[in-house]
Amino acid sequence: MDSGRRQGGIQQLLAAEQDAQHIVGAARNAKMARLKKAKEEADKEIAEYRAHMEAKFQRKVAESSGDSGANVKRLEEETEAKIQQLKLQAANISHDVVHMLLRHVTSVKN
């Protein structure tokens, strides 16, 4: 009876080992499926984000290139205003500069 019990116990152990292998295999397969699904979802989110950022970039490029005429005009106006300001400053001090130069040229030092 002892050997029968042993045989039964061994059979139970073998059956339990096979069940454990099936459970581990199923868990491994489920884990791989979840990882694959997560990777696909992440790839999809990345593609959507990339498309969103690309569209945003293209809008900025279109805005800046479409505005280039206005930018050039604005820069020309700013430049002209700065030139007029510098001319006015030069006109204000030119009289003093001429007097200073005449004083230095006409003074004699030994």
Question: Sorting pLDDT into bands at 50, 70 and 90, what band is 24?
Answer: very high
Of residues 68 and 23, more confidence is placed in: 23
Phi, psi of 59 (to 5 degrees): -65, -45
For residues 86 and 79, give the distance between their C-alpha atoms in angstroms, rounded to a whole number.
11
| Residue keyed to tokens 């030119």 | 94
Task: Using a cut of 0.85, tell me whether the model's pTM lies above it.
Answer: no
Residue 58 contacts by C-beta under 8 Å, 6 or more apart in sequence?
Answer: none
CA-CA distance, 105 to 97, in Å (whole number)? 12
